[in-house]
């Protein structure tokens, strides 16, 4: 009985995620779902991204938290198109929450949507939101054993960022153990080491993001050209 209920929850979510995906496609928006444990640096990364890209791309942000508008207020200093979702205690975002949030955004004007998921390394990865890419932010202060202890999120992310590398000095974080395990779980996945504090590695992340954006928008353009 319990298994049946859980299966229904996932089926319902999949259906809503497909609808979200259609909406994003119609509006030509590339969507990134940012995942991490609490405090790994998702909001800091969004702020660094906005500083560099807000004049080149139209970016919207959906902020997911169990409560507060703390993170959304920081984002608002850079862009208007930001919506806060308060999950009321739920430890992940689901596709229905995102569907409601994007009703408040002017989608036709956006190129990119960044969704900051609830800080949690476990269930957010099981809920498709209709995104194009899942980006995992891991950080030095969490320790190098996170891929060993929480494998599914490392397996299913399209990019792994290792944030807070400014803290490597004097820490026992073993970068090669971390990278080795990530590569074993998700062969070929790119790992970018960066610091939102010093700015090291941020340009590489921006390059990765921009390549995904032009890749999708070009594909959509090619698609509509061929279908005429
Ligand atoms: N030393 C260091 N601190 C960082 C770095 N990036 C973020 N921080 C700090 O880490 C703390 C948490 O960063 P946030 O960006 O709020 O993390 P988050 O993932 O959005 O956190 P939640 O939304 O609570 O899940 C803040 O005090 C940041 O200033 C970094 O590269 N180096
Ligand atoms: Mg945050
Ligand atoms: Zn959850």
One digit per residue, pLDDT tens: the chain, 228 residues?
677 777 888 999 999 999 999 999 999 999 999 999 999 999 999 999 999 999 999 999 999 999 999 999 999 999 999 999 999 999 999 999 999 999 999 999 999 999 999 999 999 999 999 999 999 999 999 999 999 999 999 999 999 999 999 999 999 999 999 999 999 999 999 999 999 999 999 999 999 999 999 887 655 545 445 544
Helix/strand/coil for 59: strand
Q: Would you say the C-alpha torsion 168, 170, 172, 176 has a positive or negative sign?
A: positive
Among 196, 201, 205, residue to substitute to test ligand 1 (most atoms within 8 Å of Cβ): 196
CB 112 within 8 A of CB 141: no
Among 38, 43, 44, residue to substitute to test ligand 1 (most atoms within 8 Å of Cβ): 44
- How many C-beta atoms surround the C-beta of residue 148 within 10 A? 14
- How many C-beta atoms surround the C-beta of residue 3 within 10 A? 7
Distance 38 CA to ligand 1 centre (A): 8
Least distant ligand from the CA of 37: 1
CB 192 within 8 A of CB 210: no
Least distant ligand from the CA of 201: 1
**How far is it, in rounded angstroms, from Cα 10 to Cα 129?**
11
**Which residue's alpha carbon is at the smallest distance from atom 1 of ligand 1?**
164
Nearest atom (ligand 1) to Cα of 195 = 31
Q: Would you say the C-alpha torsion 23, 202, 204, 121 has a positive or negative sign?
A: negative
Class of domain 2-226: alpha beta
- pTM beyond 0.85: yes
């Amino acid at each position: 009985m319990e298994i049946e209920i859980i299966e229904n929850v996932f089926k319902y979510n999949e259906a809503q995620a497909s609808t979200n995906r259609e909406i994003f496609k119609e509006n030509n928006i590339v969507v990134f779902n940012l995942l991490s444990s609490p405090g790994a640096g998702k909001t800091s990364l969004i702020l660094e991204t906005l500083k560099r890209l807000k004049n080149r791309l139209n970016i919207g942000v959906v902020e997911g938290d169990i409560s507060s508008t703390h993170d959304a207020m920081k984002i608002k200093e850079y862009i208007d198109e930001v919506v806060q979702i308060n999950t009321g205690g739920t430890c992940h975002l689901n596709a229905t929450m995102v569907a409601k949030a994007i009703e408040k955004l002017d989608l036709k004007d956006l190129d990119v949507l960044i969704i900051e998921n609830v800080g949690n390394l476990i269930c957010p990865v099981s809920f498709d939101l209709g995104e194009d890419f899942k980006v995992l932010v891991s950080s030095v202060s969490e320790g190098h054993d996170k891929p060993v202890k929480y494998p599914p999120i490392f397996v299913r992310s399209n990019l792994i960022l290792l944030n807070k590398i400014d803290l490597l000095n004097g820490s026992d974080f073993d970068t090669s153990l971390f990278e080795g395990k990530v590569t074993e779980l998700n062969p070929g996945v790119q790992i970018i080491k960066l610091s939102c504090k010093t700015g090291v590695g941020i340009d590489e992340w921006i390059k990765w993001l921009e390549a995904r954006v032009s890749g999708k928008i070009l594909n959509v353009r090619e698609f509509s050209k061929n279908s005429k």
